[in-house]
Structure 1
Amino acid sequence: MRKSHEIIELPAFRYSARLCHNEDGNDSWQLCEGLNGPDMDLYYRELVVLMQTQVASQSEMDVPALSDQTLKNRISTLHSFLAFHGKTVDSAVGKELLSRFDASLKAYSESLTVSSHSKSDRRSHLRAWRKAADSLLHENRRIKPAEKTNSEVSPFHLALRAALATTGDAPKTIAKRAGASTTALARWLKGAVPNRRAFPSVRRLERELGLEAGTLESLIPAVKKALVNSASVGAGSQIDYRIRLARNIRDIYYIQEDALSADFLTEWNAFFAYKTDKRTTLARNPGGTWRLQSGEKQAKLPSAHAWRNGLCCPTAQKNLDKFRSFFGFLARPREDGGYGVSADAAQSLAWFASRDAVNAYLEFMRARSGGLVHGGHAAFAALTAGLLSANTGFVTQQPTLIERLPPGTLNTGWANACLETRQLAKEWLTDATDVSRRPEEPIQSLLDMSEPLAPLFRAVELLDREAASAAPGSPLEATLKRDALALSIVLANPLRLRNLVTMTWRPNNSGSLYRREDGQWRIRFGPQDFKNDRKAIKGAYDAPLPRSLGQRIEEYLDEFRPRLLRANPKADWLFPNDESGRWKSLNKQFFRLTRRLIPQTPGFGPHAIRHLVATDYLRKHPNDFLTVSQLLHDKLETVLSEYAHLRQDDAFAKYEIHLRGVMAS
């Protein structure tokens, strides 16, 4: 039986209806319900106006008055609900508030990581919006043509909507704070996909929403496809780490910073003070303190929770991220591999005393890493062991924290629970010997070459050619010249990402890049710029650049860099981004450049270049580890450990010479 559908306007019906003509030979018509009928011709802004009249308590509306705060709360919930469904207040009222309201309300409520009381309040707010819609629809009985919707929502749109839904602010407000296009964000919520020109806006939204870098960008279909497939481009094999990363980044489970509970933030502030104050009431390991730094020295600025008295603490941010991940696992439903406690109950450092919870989280991490027990396990296990130290552990010294745990969580007293969990953490720490991300994987095809650095020099030449083909005086020309100089400097002085991002130049010669009277350009950093890296030499860095780079540097500083700083001419960053600010996405740009210009690789960043430089040099100068230590500004023991395999190669090369001598005798 085949049916055709003709939409008939029936003003007496509250919801849309269709009359279906039966074409099986029976000339009858029947009312067919539930066939994805049209939505009402009503817009959310009309509902907001109706609510505002209740605040004004206009007598002709015959509605009870509302307080300003109640209206604000309801509007905040509406923004959150609409963002979850990919809409804004400029959208038409659809099935999410009408025929499918109950299902929509349930799905939205389950997505929230707030207290049960807050969820109840939001459900109450949304029922008020539903009642307002019913009121206007009953009054006007309007019907509009069915709106077109995407039958399949991509992971990017789901993640974006979920992130916006947690804020309670209007998408336009968030876009303005992030410096992104309000119209573009509205299009993305409706199903549009950001193009490459919009990627910087996506990254700014990530920062504004408190998401980890790449959380949204990696889910954009084109980027997601590249992450999964790039390892096979020219390299001949896929990189397991990147495949796992692309998969895991779509499964966001950690607690968002704006969803952290007031009770936990009280604990966090006390822990932050314990780690940074000169004197504390709790016992503290002499080496267990965190250092506060100027934000100008950071490649990526920490969130507001990692600042004190105008100074930031990257170590605090790293630890807070570990807490958020642990709490997110605890609040994750058991059917999804989590621990199944409420979001509020999960947010306490007291859980570090629970042997079962800590072990379950480490097993969860192992499952997500394909069975590997790697450095991430080691970092969390070390954090746990420190918190539970017998005499100086922050958690151990506060037995009242047990009150934050659900009854029956611990099977023993506080001191014994801390001791048992600490022993467990040490066992995991011992077992964490696997390597999840191998720096040589993306550059293996280059390491197999006799001259592995040659493709990088060719990449610089290609950038120069592209710049020559660009419009003279254009931003594109300046950007290409910036990238060419950055790549040239990393080849000459294989610095860490943080140093590259924070590198400065000033006309008075006081920046990181400076020139001596003899014309030689040099790079310098103070000891404080390396203190957070356990592998680095802790002394000052003052190294020369090849004289062959002199003309390139001067040309860039005189002609190209000023174009990049038009919007911020007083900025002293050597490598500004396209918006005249700090080039925080430098690592990603290196990845894109190398993937595009060195097709035999899937793309890599400055850290891989450091590995490439060290390996190439040691192959040609066996056992000269001291020179590599100076080139990388790494401790000698670090270099000996990282490149021990080359010592083995040298040993077998010498043994081969020995065998030849034996055979010739």
Structure 2
Amino acid sequence: MTQSLAWYGLRSPYSYTVKGTITPWSCIPVASPPQLGENELETTYSQLQEAHRDRLNTEKGEVSEQVLRNHTSVLKSFLVFCNKTMENRVGREFTFDFIKQVSAYGELAGTHNRKTAADKVSILRAWKKTVDLATRVAKLKPVAGPSLFHKELRAAIAMSGQTTPDITKAIHTAPLTIQGWLNGEFPFKRGLPALRRLEAHLGLERGHLESKLEYPRKDLNVTIQQSGDKYMERMRANRQDPFYLKSGAFTPELTAEWFALMRYKTAEHTVGLRRTARGVWRALPIDKVGADLGSNKLCHPAPGLACPSAERNLLTVRSYLGFLAKSRSENVATSGLGLPDDHVQTLGMLVIPEFVNAFFEFMKARSGNIVHNGHNNVAGAICNLTRPDDGYLWQQPAFLAKVETYAKGRSWRELCDETYRLCKSWQQASLGKKSRDPRAPLLTLLSLADPLGPFKNAIKKLDMAAARCAPGSAFQATYKRDALLLALALSNPLRHRTLTITKYVAPGVVSEYETNLFQTEKGSWRLQFFSGDFKNDRSKQIEYDAPLPQALSKRIEEYLAEYRPVLVRRNPTAPWVFPNLHGNKHKDVGQLIATIAQNYIPEVGRLRMHALRHIVATDFLNRNPGQYTVIASLLHDNLETVLKHYAHRKVESAFKAHEEHLKGFFDGI
């Protein structure tokens, strides 16, 4: 799972609980689990079909209906040979007598076609594997544990005759790791080496326990040919060379400068300084911003408030000052200016034009020598601060004393004016340019006859994964949460921040929060948001009140009644519809969408909420040409913005209409 997981006491950070209480260690059986009867299992062959389908889908990805029909046909043929039917219970022909019976069946089938006989035997072995799994599950039924993994672990340790302290010491792991697993926790990926050492120590086959873990896995059986993504390659390379000035490294002087700027930007009215209407940063209640912003004190202009614009501008400041302090190298893409740390810790550095220009060149080099929208954003932020008459820094001549070493005899106003003109020039150069084509990762998906089909399959896979989990477990709840999130994001494609802060307060519950998800008297479900819940108040004056599809009603009710309570069990008053494992606000629902896509939608290279909104809009316009007003309502966006981003669809629709108009004109020419 992608969520950060709790540590428990002295236990290593390799596990987390999926069920609150289970039978204590003292109740682990000291003898082998009871054996089933020799002749028959409790399951019929008809009932076995569903288990067989699930196993094949889990191990091989989505198998076709034809493959399943072939498997069923061979099974029925074999049962006729054994004088059985699909309604009989699974018996000796698939347990003790399997080799003898399959050999005789294969010999008979081979008299006509040896290749066909070999295929049938191979299919019967696949059925045998399903029977063995069902048999093992039945054998472990008396063993305590919330899942097959825990049952297998308990049985293996019981049969070894060793104590947990002895095993812990032998495999060199933290004292409470194995005890935690026995108490209902799952190892997660950093704990797999310890789990593999445990398998080896207990004499188990490699993967015996690991294969029972129920992590979401990417479908590796669907291969999509995609061209190399140069943007992602650059991003991976850049992440290996971090340079941002850490927030915790801010000096008290820089911190004071930053808070003074933020107070000026967020104040209802400024005193002694000029500010334009567009120069205001809005502050929002903590519950209406993402978890990262909510915990970043440098973006809190007042108690209980957070400022999204401050977060974006703080990143600009941290990246610029970090570049100034970064050591020099011969490569422009990795070289900073190497200035002393104590020199760069002031906002006054933003008005030194030589340094600002060097930073833009650095950004360009790190983007493959492409001038892009990132330049426009940074240049715009600095222009706002250095603009003549009403720029914040332009009105702070006292800052000159902090950067006089680099001023080269210029006055404060001269520095601001020169920097302002420079940034305007970079803005012009970057206008409309991008460092990547945002549509490139989506081309394969959008070329499908039904671009939304893979999303439907992903929801089905998440439901199947939940069905395989222990009832009441956190794993099961997270799969159900992710399935509802994906379904809701397709039906009501809002931005990721809005989905992150979506709240649910049950009727009759007294809460400090207002619910966004609610059920009407007629039983239908709706989403309601207010202007402050959206990205930009100026462009979102209309409140959002929209229905959810009737087909989602059962899924919503089931999630709220059965699965969400598991996620908020440690924080029962939490209002978040899509909380993390601790019941707190999820860090970023957009990243959760990306993880779901990575694991369950192989047709797309990468996917965030912005891309999902684009897919929904494009698919709708393909099916309903010209319906731009509808798309604006669906995305809760301005019509002007929709027309700007989807103008190419108007051209395509026009030519398709013209082609229809000319139908038959070119015949015979």
Q: Is the 8 A contact 1:478 1:564 kept in 2?
A: yes
In structure 1, C-alpha distance between the alignment counterparts of 2:284 and 2:663, rounded to whole Å: 58
Mapping 1:305-384, distance limit 5 Å: 305-310=298-303, 311-335=305-329, 336-384=334-382
- The answer to whether 1:387 aligns with 2:362 is no
Provide the residue aligned with 2:90 in structure 1. none
CA drift at 1:661: 4.0
- The answer to whether 1:279 aligns with 2:273 is no
Q: Could you give the per-residue CA deviations for residues 298-348 of structure 1, whole angstroms, max 9, x where no partner exists?
A: 123321111132111121121111111100111112225212211111122
Aligned amino acid, residue 229 of structure 2: I
Q: Is the 8 A contact 1:331 1:338 kept in 2?
A: yes
The structure, 1 or 2, with the larger RCO (C-alpha pairs under 8 Å, 6+ apart) is 2
CA drift at 1:627: 0.3
Of 528, 535, 538 in structure 2, the residue corresponding to residue 524 of structure 1 is 528
In structure 1, C-alpha distance between the alignment counterparts of 2:383 and 2:346, rounded to whole Å: 16
CA drift at 1:463: 1.2
Provide the residue aligned with 2:460 in structure 1. 461
Q: 1:325 to 1:594 in 2, by over 3 A?
A: same
Provide the residue aligned with 2:610 in structure 1. 607
Q: 1:508 to 1:410 in 2, by over 3 A?
A: farther
Q: Could you give the per-residue CA deviations for residues 464-503 of structure 1, whole angstroms, max 9, x where no partner exists?
A: 1221222222221111111111111011101110111111
Greater CA drift, 388-397 or 470-479: 470-479
In structure 2, C-alpha distance between the alignment counterparts of 1:308 and 1:407, rounded to whole Å: 32
Q: Is the 8 A contact 2:328 2:336 kept in 1?
A: yes
In structure 1, C-alpha distance between the alignment counterparts of 2:620 and 2:368, rounded to whole Å: 34
Aligned amino acid, residue 300 of structure 1: A
Structure 1: any 5+ residue segments left out of the alignment?
A: 1-180, 185-193, 200-225
Aligned amino acid, residue 656 of structure 2: A
In structure 1, C-alpha distance between the alignment counterparts of 2:440 and 2:516, rounded to whole Å: 32
Between the aligned residues of both structures, percent identity stands at 37
In structure 2, C-alpha distance between the alignment counterparts of 1:561 and 1:485, rounded to whole Å: 11
CA drift at 1:651: 2.2
CA drift at 1:411: 5.0
Aligned amino acid, residue 436 of structure 1: S
Aligned amino acid, residue 282 of structure 2: R
Of 639, 643, 657 in structure 1, the residue corresponding to residue 660 of structure 2 is 657
Provide the residue aligned with 2:233 in structure 1. 243
CA drift at 1:195: 5.8
Of 576, 579, 582 in structure 1, the residue corresponding to residue 579 of structure 2 is 576
Greater CA drift, 472-481 or 399-408: 399-408
Q: Is the 8 A contact 1:594 1:601 kept in 2?
A: yes
Q: Could you give the per-residue CA deviations for residues 141-196 of structure 1, whole angstroms, max 9, x where no partner exists?
A: xxxxxxxxxxxxxxxxxxxxxxxxxxxxxxxxxxxxxxxx9999xxxxxxxxx963
Q: Is the 8 A contact 2:259 2:301 kept in 1?
A: no
Greater CA drift, 315-324 or 578-587: 578-587
Mapping 1:376-415, distance limit 5 Å: 376-415=374-413
In structure 1, C-alpha distance between the alignment counterparts of 2:564 and 2:401, rounded to whole Å: 58
Q: Is the 8 A contact 1:464 1:481 kept in 2?
A: yes
Provide the residue aligned with 1:495 in structure 2. 494
Q: Could you give the per-residue CA deviations for residues 434-485 of structure 1, whole angstroms, max 9, x where no partner exists?
A: 2134432322211001110111011111111221222222221111111111
Q: Is the 8 A contact 1:264 1:347 kept in 2?
A: yes
Q: 1:585 to 1:197 in 2, by over 3 A?
A: farther
Q: Could you give the per-residue CA deviations for residues 502-532 of structure 1, whole angstroms, max 9, x where no partner exists?
A: 1111112751100110111000100111253
TM-score where L is the length of structure 1? 0.64
Q: 1:429 to 1:619 in 2, by over 3 A?
A: same
Over the aligned positions, Cα root-mean-square deviation in angstroms equals 2.5
Provide the residue aligned with 1:512 in structure 2. 516
Q: Could you give the per-residue CA deviations for residues 86-105 of structure 1, whole angstroms, max 9, x where no partner exists?
A: xxxxxxxxxxxxxxxxxxxx
Q: Is the 8 A contact 2:352 2:419 kept in 1?
A: yes
Provide the residue aligned with 1:125 in structure 2. none
Q: Is the 8 A contact 1:439 1:611 kept in 2?
A: no
Q: Is the 8 A contact 1:593 1:603 kept in 2?
A: no
Q: Could you give the per-residue CA deviations for residues 179-220 of structure 1, whole angstroms, max 9, x where no partner exists?
A: xx9999xxxxxxxxx963679xxxxxxxxxxxxxxxxxxxxx
Structure 2: any 5+ residue segments left out of the alignment?
A: 1-173, 178-186, 193-216, 509-513
Q: 1:626 to 1:562 in 2, by over 3 A?
A: same
In structure 2, C-alpha distance between the alignment counterparts of 1:196 and 1:601, rounded to whole Å: 24
Q: How many residues align?
A: 446
Q: 1:345 to 1:183 in 2, by over 3 A?
A: farther
Aligned amino acid, residue 290 of structure 1: W
Q: Could you give the per-residue CA deviations for residues 640-665 of structure 1, whole angstroms, max 9, x where no partner exists?
A: 01111111211221232344343148
Q: 1:353 to 1:308 in 2, by over 3 A?
A: closer
Provide the residue aligned with 1:624 in structure 2. 627
Q: 1:397 to 1:549 in 2, by over 3 A?
A: same
Q: Is the 8 A contact 1:513 1:524 kept in 2?
A: yes
Q: Could you give the per-residue CA deviations for residues 68-94 of structure 1, whole angstroms, max 9, x where no partner exists?
A: xxxxxxxxxxxxxxxxxxxxxxxxxxx
Provide the residue aligned with 1:119 in structure 2. none
Of 277, 286, 291 in structure 2, the residue corresponding to residue 295 of structure 1 is 286
Q: Is the 8 A contact 1:254 1:324 kept in 2?
A: yes
Aligned amino acid, residue 288 of structure 1: G
Of 234, 238, 242 in structure 2, the residue corresponding to residue 252 of structure 1 is 242
Q: Is the 8 A contact 1:295 1:301 kept in 2?
A: no
CA drift at 1:400: 2.0
Provide the residue aligned with 1:172 in structure 2. none
Aligned amino acid, residue 189 of structure 2: R
Q: Could you give the per-residue CA deviations for residues 5-58 of structure 1, whole angstroms, max 9, x where no partner exists?
A: xxxxxxxxxxxxxxxxxxxxxxxxxxxxxxxxxxxxxxxxxxxxxxxxxxxxxx
